[in-house]
Structure 1
Amino acid sequence: MVISSDSQRDLFSDTGALGFVQILLAEMHDDLLGKVARFRQLTDLSKTLGPGGTMIHGGEVAYTAWTEARNSFIHGNYIATVMLCQSLAENLLAAYIDTDLEAEKLPKRVSFNDTIRRCVSKGVFDKSFSGELITMMNIRNPLSHYRDLEDPSNLSRRVLDSRLPAIAHLMGDASFALAIAIKLLSLPPFWLSGETLK
């Protein structure tokens, strides 16, 4: 098959570097006040982190999930924020439990419910906070797994029932997930003292 130059034009953009810069600047300018407000919200929430910083167990996945969740929230990417906060929680907690040499060895693939149960039994957090983690998981599930319109957790169903726009629901979900992620990172087991080792 031979592709003519006319049909090939549809495959590639004629936009030059300056055109892309204009598009990016326009996108950066859109919702600038909202981005600033979300950045302030994130800054206020982050004041509860450990006095010397926070130890993020879970390696690159947990750390990248945390940094991308913050950026996603600031830029109004709410579904991504929820997904990334869930990823952070699952990886951080399982890795933390896995570092306990006296604890039962984790399976190669551990469910989030099992991780939560182990954390409660080890005293990482109480049952009340485990309920908040499960709520975050329940917010995430219908965003990553299909739910029909009759399911009350389906986003379209929530919009119809509440008569609020989808973006309002998603922003609320993302704000909740981010608050839970910060609350999790603020727990004493993840605090750093800020003192250097001698």
Structure 2
Amino acid sequence: MSSHPLLILGSTSRYRRELLERLRLPFEVCAPAVDETPHPGEAPAALAQRLALAKALAVSAIHPAAIVIGSDQVADVDGEPVGKPGNHQNAVAQLKRMSGRSIVFQTAVAVVNPARTFAEVRLAAVRVQFRHLSAEEIEHYLRLEQPYDCAGSAKCETLGIALLEAIESDDPTALIGLPLIRTAALLRDAGLDPLGSAR
């Protein structure tokens, strides 16, 4: 019998699920019912943090005995939030806009533990330098990867890495969708240490 409290990832993202598995904690997955529409004039960093916490709180309301993780990622392009493209046409437009430019991806993670009245969110900013991309390169990449569920169409854990010249981050998995250094720190603060038992 595990001494760990129930841990829930408030996300259906397979990328976040695969990342969280690295911490070797048993967890379940629950889809959060959250409207991800940006507020008028909302900055990308603020949007990512608001949605990460909203997702964690939405799942926590259904599972109040659990520790819940929520996360969100938004690309910051000229101060405008850019999310998942959803389709090929939008993905082409996103990549053309980011070609040759330095873009910041704002990835937020929140952890909620009602038993400790704990609810915190942290932000990991990742600066990405895109190569100058030709129309042919964009089409080739999109045909192979179809990254329509990735913020900014940048699926860096696979072929999307070839779109880039450089990545700057103090939390290496943030660009994939879940900053594990910050996630582990929040879990410790919430009472669940990935390197030990529940505190």
TM-score, L = length of structure 2: 0.28
Q: Of Structure 1 and Structure 2, which has the larger fraction of its residues in strand?
A: 2
Q: Whose relative contact order is higher, 1 or 2, with alpha carbons under 8 Å and at least 6 apart? A: 1
Q: Which has the larger radius of gyration?
A: 1
Q: Of Structure 1 and Structure 2, which has the larger fraction of its residues in helix?
A: 1
